[in-house]
Structure 1
């Protein structure tokens, strides 16, 4: 499982980020000041750190210098939107720089990009009778290739990365379609119905009442 540390002193924002990350299957810890962040980094190995700049006790730039030898990718999350701050952060080694306020869909997309850049996900996934090759984007069962549309493939990959996690319809739509979810639309349900039949996940891909769907493995 991917483990992410959120270093953000605004607790409501920190809680929102944590909830969004956990909703799509990431493990997530939080730190409300720089000293707590450094303690957690010393105690545990993280795959990614989301780091505010303006923090109590130890600021984000100082934390970035501290963790740089550990080669942990960092995305800055900050209200400081000056070009100078952005350039400084990127030159110090940050992978990305997101200015507040931001949409959670944008955050999740950028997290996904950075994790893939660092090869934090396997190139081949074997799950629930399927083999998913993320390099060739081929899906097969018992050696036979299953042809999927791009949307079906991306939905499949989302569930494969988040086994046994209930995914909200709006999360699926926002991650796959890249747009804000419109309540009442049946787009997600129709695509999942077709996907179930194609890959043989009629039992594994289950509906969760008033939430969305969960892949049980």
Structure 2
């Protein structure tokens, strides 16, 4: 009796497995088209390549969606899995572009901050504007990679800053000092990246 029940259970399971296999055999080619997926990914990478040559504020990375769509609604469409793969594939490159912008800002701002300190050492006062550093301490004032204009300087607060990703001149702030590993995850930082001029070390 027990053996008969086990055989019946196995038979039902085998039928279920067979039906599921048939469904998968039909759905997998429907949900994933390799050639179409490759073409979609290529279009996205080409767009990212074009964005990488723009000033950071013009790249509009926030419009370059990498979030997964609603699975239940999306899964009934042809090549749905392929589209999701292509859509998510550019995420790492978007992060790279974003971090590159902040890294350039940090490096250029640090160079300027050293130039300001050297100016103070020689003149016993802070420069009124960054152009005062040219050509003695800088060949030219670095360009803000976010808007293509010169980096900003606050004599009152003694810091160099960028207009940041929102392209608004917020004057810099202590709360938005650049910390490269975390800045691109903090809105206050990437919208107003700031590099301090550490004048307390001038005598060292």
Fold agreement, TM-score > 0.5: no
> Shorter-chain-normalised TM-score: which range?
under 0.3
Normalised by the length of structure 2, the TM-score is 0.21
Q: Which has the higher strand share?
A: 1
Q: Which has the larger radius of gyration?
A: 2
Q: TM (normalized to structure 1)?
A: 0.20
Higher relative contact order (CA 8 A, sep 6+): 2
